[in-house]
Structure 1
Amino acid sequence: MAQPATDPPGRKAGTSGTGPESASRPESASGSAPGSDSAPASGRPADGPEDAADAALGLDMVLVDAARGPLRRLVPPAGTALRFGRSLARQPGTVARRTGELARELGRIAAGRSELAPGKKDKRFADPAWSGNPLLRRAMQLHLATARTAWELIEDAHLDWQDDERIRFTATNLVDALAPSNIPVVNPLSLKAAIDTGGRSAVEGVKRLVRDLSTPPRVPSMVEPDAFTVGEDLAATPGAVVFRTPVFELIRYTPTTETVREVPLLMVPPTINKYYIADLAPGRSIAEHYVNSGQQVFMMSWRNPDERHAEWGLDTYGQAILDAMDAVERATGTPRVAFQSFCSGGIILAMVLAHLAATGRQDRVTAASFAVTVLDWSRAGTITALMDDDVEAATEKSRKKGYLDGAQLAEVFAWLRPNDLIWNYWVNNYLQGKPPPNFDILYWNSDTVRLSAALHRDFIEIAVGNTLTQPGKATMLGTPVDLSAVTVDSYITAGIADHICPWQACYRSTQLLGGDTRFILSTNGHIASLVNPPGNPKSTFQVAEDTPPDPQEWLRKAETVRGSWWPDFMTWVGERSGGQIPAPTGPGDLEELAEAPGTYVFDK
């Protein structure tokens, strides 16, 4: 029986670590492909939540890495490399044993007797030529054997979890880059394309390579720039901008039902990407589904900041949410709102809710949803594996520029899963000279935004200090933040294969917030767990009646429900949204300033 060679040995408990990947289905830089059971960065299929935790790298790490530059992905910090080498030097017997094992495996490879084979989900070597051609099979097995030895040596080094995290991250990128499937004259797909097209594929591939390297982010294009049109194919749910500030536009979606729930839903998107992750193609739009379910829906669309907005920090965005609440009240005549937030938007919303609780205004909110949001950063990613000088250098770089460039963020997100998001497209775009397939999530992901320098700094400070877990340590609009004082009911969602916000970290919000919580564990990764429309036969989610402190205890009690969590959320929020009222026909005391999707969404 062939022996899979892409799976690294098990990690020390509590590390998030990385290793060789085996998934190849396209996924957004922030999640996994819809309907896929994508492999985490550890190289093992994401068969369970424990594997998903191993895959986590952390939004916090992304914010640091994006500012520091691409070399961090290929070169470990000097101190980490020194400690790694020193640890192995103290174990000459172990190193000799691993070297001997590799030498013997190389001998079997040369003799054609090796049983090394890629993992079942490693699509890099799916072409029959990799197993049928003796030279290609040996090249593949040489790579697998060397990679396996690298992971074994890292495990043997017994580094502390911080250095272990760093060295694995670097090793992942190096090992994946050196795969023979990335070499034009070796990959059979490249050779076949060149033969079939008379060499035109090679010419087209070079053109695509030059184009991609000429402008940031300097990674293979995951979708053609004209694949979709915002306002037509995406962000197409009918509505109008009814309020605008220098920070955001407020979109009111047009009701499609005769009656609607009294309490409107205000959606707070992430600040790192544009809002229409919640309004993708028709049939895959969260906002569209909510409107069609009889919910009044308002959406915040953040402005794309530039150097003029360098001082926009957490207080700026927190005040924006309060301004949006006031505008929704003017539009509907209803003094209360329910919230749904996503990722970084959820961090800001949680702090605003604590501010409302501290100022006696929490009764304005009937319910709050936090989707793929981490509030407790203890071992949520790799930020604590980074030295203080990493953090200081990152924030100083964005401070000087006034913002963190969205293209840098997109590049980092791609390198978090290099096989899926770099080398998969390297082979498709350059070696085969083919255009990438059209995919709405990847188009959204490529439509980058900047992060203001102050908000970049504030997010990193919250992560480094894990301040939201300590009452009074963080502030919002001058008010100490105590999340236990947030007593509104909350609906928390996470993705089982999320490598940005691991589900266990999202789950810990149930212990921080003071109200009753409902926790939903969805299939897939960071974004695909959100973009999960009803009708997908592969979709499931897990839910339990209560939320005990231990996430594993919750998991043991959870039942699996087939289908999307969207209808479940509509039922939950509907129970907290008052009675039915006639659908409004206008913007109330506001005026329609522009048709949806508004103007800020087009800012480049």
Structure 2
Amino acid sequence: MAQDENSDDPIGMGQFAKLMQFQAEAAREMFGQFLPGAGAEPPKVHGMEHWLALGHRVNAMWADFLQHQASEAQEQARGFTPAQFAALMQGWAGSMPKVDMDAQQKAWGEGLQLWDSVMKGFAGKQGEEPPELPRKDRRFADPAWRAHPAYALLHQLYLMLSEYWVSTADNIEGLDPAQRESLRFATRAMTEAMSPDHFLMTNPVVLEKTMATGGENLVKGLENLIADLKKGQLTHTDPDAFTLGENIATTPGKVVHQTDLYQLIQYSPSTGKVLEVPLVIFPPWINRFYILDLTAKKSFIKWAVDQGITVFVASWKSADESMADVVWDDYIRAQMDAIDHVRARLDVPAVHTIGYCVAGTTLAATLAILARRGEAEKVKSATFFTAQVDFEKSGELKNFIDDQQLETIAKLSPQGYLDGRYLAATFNMLRGKDLIWNYVVNNYLLGEDYPAFDLLHWNGDVTNLPSKWHNDYLRDLYRDNKLVVPDALSADGTPIDLTRIETPVYLQAGREDHIAPAESVWRFTRHLKGDKAFLLAGSGHIAGVVNHPDAGKYQYWLGDSEADTLDAYIAGAKEHPGSWWPHWVDWLRGIDDAEVDPAGKRKPGGKGDEVIEDAPGSYVKTR
């Protein structure tokens, strides 16, 4: 019987039941004939009553979610929603490549050839191993994609058409490099979204599991989807697997200083002697600081403490309405405040510093300002992890900074701060196959359990940004590249000229970094007058930095840091296996290897030392 519009079946579960029963019978026939090992008992085919009952469960879950959304409508309007993020993407639709008739005709011919080759490959192959196919992609690695000609042809045509669209974008005439890169990025995002593995009826792996579980995977997947829609963020890992201070961010230490913008954590010594010059680490405020203090076997902070270094780290506050007027000057002043506080606390003339990503960009400005003020001696050395100052070759993030998108970003932050979930979605889009669509399939269609993965836990632990500063950063640095123009920018009342920096500098870049490309990081060398050491690490923006020596992973390259280009550096560089951290600490000791006993305030929280709280502090827990 047909459902009327006032029934309690608003999403047509009766039709869903019929469709699933039909699909179950078809799948039994299809996979029973073609899957390797045919002859085994095919999966059970559930009847109409089962699928109808399942449909009503799904319907009830969705109805409850809609009721929840209605009750939360006012709060949703104040925060991040998927629709708001989608608004940022609207400009891409008009950027899609126009159809090239010659290329289209070529693609049509290739499609016919592909059809013919796939069909011939299956001829007489029933019950045998599936044939090899011309195009390979890990999304379609499961044998089910090759077990039946329909699915084999489907994903092969998809891969062929994806190549066609990307080629069309590359070959359009009359585009400047920035427009072409933006078009290439939009085309890739579109083709990734259209992949047949993202849909129940075109994914044989999902269909197999649906038949095997009687659709329970879809129920669990809908639970996962609803949970993510409620929080406005894609879940990558088990949200209950890690607790700050218990099994992640556990290096012992104390919060010894606090402002409205950051907490300063000092870590307890673990060696009999420590370097006299302490180290102050400035992580990016786009993420939580504990990327450098994951589990003990991955923690850079713990490893540095174990090398005899007195380590401090800034834990930045996630922005709220009170930070609406915070700008770049405030972060630069915060870095100078941390440097001065450590110098005074330990009664030392200078500190070593590290700046990671955007905090490294800011550290460069801080060094330039200190140099101009005659205070450069406060910093003994500066290390930069994947940090950019010259944004001409800054990579795919430039696709988010045209005038239309900057205007949209401003509209997303009416309370004066940008919700960190927007930033998470943006960075996920840069690696959509790995960080979005892979989880759509696993979480929502297959209904799989979430893994316990510390790095993914950190990746989903988002922070908010002051919107005024964020827009200035995108416009002045990413778009207009003013930081490398002497005195084009000022902060705290002082013009910024990077060429005044004579502090010894260690520059680390990741060879596969898509956020701060190695070429972009390399360009920092053009603006430095003092001694500099450049190192190219294997992997990318995170794994290239967080690579504990005990893991025995990746490699790094050392070449001529005075080379004219990155290509020239690589051409003459020598590859070394494993982590680059030992090379860095040797460099640091080469600047000043004087040691002292870890006494007095070198042991935070000791006798007579007033501290605020235990590490990792409270700011890192603020959402």
Deviation at 1:253, TM superposition (A): 0.3
1:154 aligns with 2:161: no
Residue type of the partner of 1:209? L
Aligned match of 1:167? 183
CA contact (8 A) 1:310 1:399 kept: no
Per-residue CA distance 1:220-278 (angstroms, 9 max, x = gap): x1012111011111111000000011111100000000110000000001010111111
Structure 2: how far apart are the matches of 1:309 and 1:147?
A: 44
Per-residue CA distance 1:399-440 (angstroms, 9 max, x = gap): 633011101111111121111011111121122211221111
CA contact (8 A) 1:74 1:170 kept: no
Aligned match of 2:316? 302
Larger RCO, structures 1/2 (Cα 8 Å, 6+ apart)? 1
Per-residue CA distance 1:565-597 (angstroms, 9 max, x = gap): 111111111222440100134349962110100
Distance 1:419 1:598, change over 3 A: same
How many aligned residue pairs are there?
528
Aligned match of 1:248? 262
Aligned match of 1:415? 429
Distance 1:334 1:342, change over 3 A: same
Q: Any residues of structure 2 matched to 1:210-289 within 5 Å, and which?
A: 210-217=226-233, 219=234, 221-289=235-303
CA contact (8 A) 1:486 1:513 kept: yes
Distance 1:174 1:111, change over 3 A: farther
Structure 2: how far apart are the matches of 1:260 and 1:599?
A: 27
Structure 1: how far apart are the matches of 2:179 and 2:120?
A: 38
Aligned match of 2:110? 101
CA contact (8 A) 1:243 1:591 kept: no
Structure 2: how far apart are the matches of 1:398 and 1:316?
A: 22
Question: Which of residues 474, 492, 516 is equivalent to 2:507?
Answer: 492
1:363 aligns with 2:377: yes
Structure 2: how far apart are the matches of 1:104 and 1:240?
A: 67
Structure 2: how far apart are the matches of 1:211 and 1:204?
A: 11
Distance 1:110 1:146, change over 3 A: farther
Structure 1: how far apart are the matches of 2:244 and 2:597?
A: 31
Question: Which of residues 497, 510, 513 is equivalent to 1:482?
Answer: 497
Deviation at 1:397, TM superposition (A): 2.1
Distance 1:375 1:559, change over 3 A: same
Distance 1:522 1:383, change over 3 A: closer
Deviation at 1:562, TM superposition (A): 0.9
* Matched residue SS, 1:176: helix
CA contact (8 A) 1:321 1:349 kept: yes
Residue type of the partner of 1:536? A
CA contact (8 A) 2:261 2:317 kept: yes
Structure 2: how far apart are the matches of 1:96 and 1:576?
A: 64
CA contact (8 A) 2:304 2:311 kept: yes
TM-score (normalizing by structure 1): 0.83
CA contact (8 A) 2:406 2:471 kept: no
Structure 1: how far apart are the matches of 2:412 and 2:381?
A: 35
Structure 2: how far apart are the matches of 1:388 and 1:166?
A: 10
Residue type of the partner of 1:197? T
Q: Any residues of structure 2 matched to 1:516-531 within 5 Å, and which?
A: 516-531=531-546
Structure 1: how far apart are the matches of 2:304 and 2:239?
A: 29
Deviation at 1:381, TM superposition (A): 2.3
**Structure number with bigger Rg:** 2
Deviation at 1:94, TM superposition (A): 4.3
Identical counterparts, % of pairs: 34
Aligned match of 2:193? 177
Q: Any residues of structure 2 matched to 1:342-491 within 5 Å, and which?
A: 342-382=356-396, 388-390=402-404, 392-394=406-408, 396-397=410-411, 400-460=414-474, 461-491=476-506
Deviation at 1:384, TM superposition (A): 5.8
What RMSD over aligned residues (CA atoms) do the two structures have, in Å?
2.3
Residue type of the partner of 2:502? T
TM-score (normalizing by structure 2): 0.80
CA contact (8 A) 2:298 2:548 kept: yes
Structure 2: how far apart are the matches of 1:273 and 1:216?
A: 17
Q: Any residues of structure 2 matched to 1:1-20 within 5 Å, and which?
A: none
* Matched residue SS, 2:533: strand
* Matched residue SS, 1:249: strand
Per-residue CA distance 1:267-300 (angstroms, 9 max, x = gap): 0010101111111111100000000000110000
1:549 aligns with 2:582: no
Deviation at 1:339, TM superposition (A): 0.4
Per-residue CA distance 1:148-194 (angstroms, 9 max, x = gap): 22122222323332232222222212211221222223323323333
Structure 1: how far apart are the matches of 2:477 and 2:166?
A: 32
Distance 1:94 1:179, change over 3 A: closer
Deviation at 1:462, TM superposition (A): 1.7
Runs of 5+ in structure 1 lacking a partner? 1-65
